[in-house]
Every structure is written in C-alpha cells, then in structure tokens.
Structure 1
Amino acid sequence: MAYALRSRRTTAVLAALSLGIVALTACNGDAEDDAAAPGAKASPSATDKVTSSPTAPSDGGSGDSSDEPTTPPPSEPGSDDDQDGGVGMCETTDLTYKVTVASKLVNHVLLTAANKGSDPCLLSANDLVITIPGLDGAAEHTGPDGKDWILEVGESAYAGILFARADTAGGKSADKVEIALAASESPTTVPINGGPVTVNDGQVTSFFGTAEDALTY
C-alpha cells in the first residue's frame, strides 16, 4: 500500500511539473509575440513626415511670370535742377564795358556791361569789384542786393558808380576805373567817357537790368 501511495504522489508531482512547464512556455511565447508586435504609441518613422512644396507650374515649367522676380527698368535721366541750367559763370573777359558820366545824377557814372561771347553766362549781381585809381581799396557796396541772372549774348547789365560825395571836400582826378566781376579775377581798365572826374569817395551798386535802376542809389 505504501508503494502504491508513493507512486501516485510521484505521478501527481510529475503531472504538476509538466503543467508548470507548459504554462511557462505559453507565457514566454506570449511575451515574445508582444515584443515583436508594434506598440500602439510608437512614433511615426521619418518616412511618415510629409513636407509640402510649391506646386510645380502646369505650363511645362515656364511658370507664371508674376511669380518670378522682376528687374526694375532703368531710371529716366533727371531734369537739371540747377537754376542756371548748366550755364557757366560770366567771367570778366566775357563782357565788354562802358563807363560814362551820368547827365542827371551828380557825381555818378554809369557802367554798362554787355555779353560779347557766343554763349549766355550766369552773371553774379553782387560780386562786382570797382577800383578807382587814386583811392585806396575797392568801392563800397551801396543800395540793395541784386539777383543773379543769365545774361544772354548781346544783353547788357548796368551798375551805378558814385565817385564823389558832395559833403566831402577835395579829391583826386581820375579818367579811368578798374572792373572785375569777382575779387579773384584780374581787373580790366576802362576809360571814363566824359571824364576826368574828381574822386573823393567810391561806391558801387549791384548789377541791374536797367540804367534807371542802377542810377537810383
């Protein structure tokens, strides 16, 4: 009886061991299947990402000209903003000069300057330099400032020269004046028509467009 009991216990133990092995094998198999299967939360691969690109032209590659960068057309030449329009300054040697004793205004002479060149030039109205021989320095400016203007060929400008003041006694005799259109230029010597005159002072106006304006001061 004892032997038969041990045999049944051994059989029961072996059966239990067999069931355990089978269960263990099944669990391992399920674990391996789980490891092989992709997870529900797996990240998408690089091939899953799609980058949008501009739509290719549908006209065979030429594309819509409005989508292409355009080069602005060259700018048109600007207008000359200079008031003189590019005309050169009048130089002393560009003009001819005439100095005549005034008949109506005492102790004055009238300077007439005419453009003798072949082109117009820009006359600086206020830079006129008059030197009277026998007096120290150039004549002082008198009267209002004039305006520069383009002196056309053959056109004249006028300035008044005061050579003597009534309230100044004495003086020196002079029969010519020296004229320059700017202090930086060499003067030209011009005789005084109707002279000589007695000089004790020297003043000169700006250039004006008429003799009447020039002899007002």
Structure 2
Amino acid sequence: MAYATRSVRTTAVLATLSLGILALTACKGEADKGTAAPSPAAEASSAGTDKSSATPATATPGGSDSSGGSAGSGGSTPPSSEPGVDDDQDGGVGMCETTDLTFTVTVASKPVNHALLTAVNKGGDPCLLPANELVITIPGLDGAAEHMGPDGKDWLLKPGEKAYAGIMFSRADTAGGKSADKVEIALTAAESPTTVPINGGPVTVNDGQVTSFFGTAEDALTY
C-alpha cells in the first residue's frame, strides 16, 4: 500500500515537471520572436534614415564640393565675350573721337607726293573708328582734302591698335602750290581738329586728297 502511494506521488511530480518544461519552452519561443532579425523592408527604411541624417558636403567657390566634385555638367564658367559690334554698330562701344587717338604724318618714299597718316588708340577702351569721315586740312589753304580710293567701313579699334590713311598733297601734272610742314586732322567735320607736324616735310600742296582708314600702311598708300 505504501508502494502505491509513492508511485502516485512520483507520477504527480513527473507531470508537474513536464508542465514546467513546456512552459519554459513556450516562454523561450516568445522571446526568440521578439529578437528576430529585421525584414528587408525594415533594413531599407533604416538605411534611408541614416542617409537623410548624414552631414552634407561643404560647398566651395566655383560649384565644387569638398570631395573635389564640381557642380553641373561643365564645372567651369564660360569666358566672358570680348567687345564687338552689333547690327546698330554700337555693341556698347562708343565712337572714337579725335582726342582718343594720337596721330603721326610721315612723308612716304613712294608714291611721290604722298604721306602716311598713322592713328593709334591711346585710350584704355576700344572705340568705333569712323572710316569715311576723316578731315585733313592744310593751314593757310581753303577747304579740306577730298576723298580718294574706296569707301571703308567703321571698325573696332582696340587700345594700342593702329589705323592708316594715305594723304596725297599734289599731283605730278599740277604746277605750283603752297609749302606746308603740318596738317590739321579731325575724325569728323563736327570735331575740333588737332595739328600734327609732317615728318620729312615741308611738302608742296596743290591738290590735297585723303583715303579712308585701312588696317595696313601698304593699303593706305595704294591710292
């Protein structure tokens, strides 16, 4: 009878232990679920959050960031364009005035009775040179020199750049004339002339003529 009682107690103890083991197993399973690895969607969300909170690169002058990359596709500023002449022939550049230029007049070896006029832009800015309005007069003679040769075109004279015109003082078949050692020059009839000595003068003047401005001395002395 005592044996039967111990057997019943042993069975009860085993049953209780089994229930405890089952309970512990269930608790561990729930804990494992709580610490499971994050899903791919959760990882992507976390990565996006990290990127948005990253410190941006510091911009440097010229559109480059601190890592050396440049902004935009070219990464450089196109150079500024040089002054030019538009359809209205201004382009933001004013007309040359007589006082903007320095002049020299030198007797030419050929053709005979000719001199070369050289004009230089002495200013710091370009200007438009009026090609066909050049006025040459000889002190003591009436009237200005007539135009000879083809018409030129107003053109941009940059600082330090030269322009040339040919002056004919007399025709070989014309007798007589007045001796002159200087001329008066103005870019237009509306301006006050400047007096320029004739290098290699004096010359005899009886039929003064002048060309338009050219880019070379050879062209200016062709007529």
The TM-score bracket by the shorter chain reads 0.5 to 0.7
CA distance in 1, matches of 2:121, 2:183: 19
Give the TM-score taking structure 1 as reference length: 0.62
CA contact (8 A) 1:132 1:178 kept: yes
Question: Match for 1:164: what amino acid?
Answer: S
Identity across matched positions, percent: 88
1:203 matched to 2:209? The reply is: yes
Unmatched segments (≥5 aa) in structure 2: 1-85
Within the candidate set 90, 98, 110, 2:96 is matched to 90
Unmatched segments (≥5 aa) in structure 1: 1-79
CA contact (8 A) 1:98 1:111 kept: yes
CA contact (8 A) 1:84 1:150 kept: no
Q: Which residue of 1 aligns with 2:65?
A: none
Secondary structure of 1:93's match? Answer: helix
Measured against aligned partners, the alpha-carbon deviations of 1:61-91 in whole angstroms (never above 9, x if no partner) come to: xxxxxxxxxxxxxxxxxxx654431100000
Matches within 5 A, 1:1-20: none
Give the deviation of 1:105 after TM superposition. Answer: 1.0
CA contact (8 A) 1:126 1:145 kept: yes
Measured against aligned partners, the alpha-carbon deviations of 1:167-197 in whole angstroms (never above 9, x if no partner) come to: 1101110000000000000000000000000
Within the candidate set 209, 215, 218, 1:212 is matched to 218
CA contact (8 A) 1:135 1:200 kept: no
1:155 matched to 2:161? The reply is: yes
The size of the alignment, in residue pairs, is 138
Matches within 5 A, 1:40-189: 82-189=88-195
Q: CA RMSD in A?
A: 1.0
Q: Say which one has the larger Rg.
A: 1
Question: Match for 1:127: what amino acid?
Answer: E
Give the deviation of 1:200 after TM superposition. Answer: 0.9
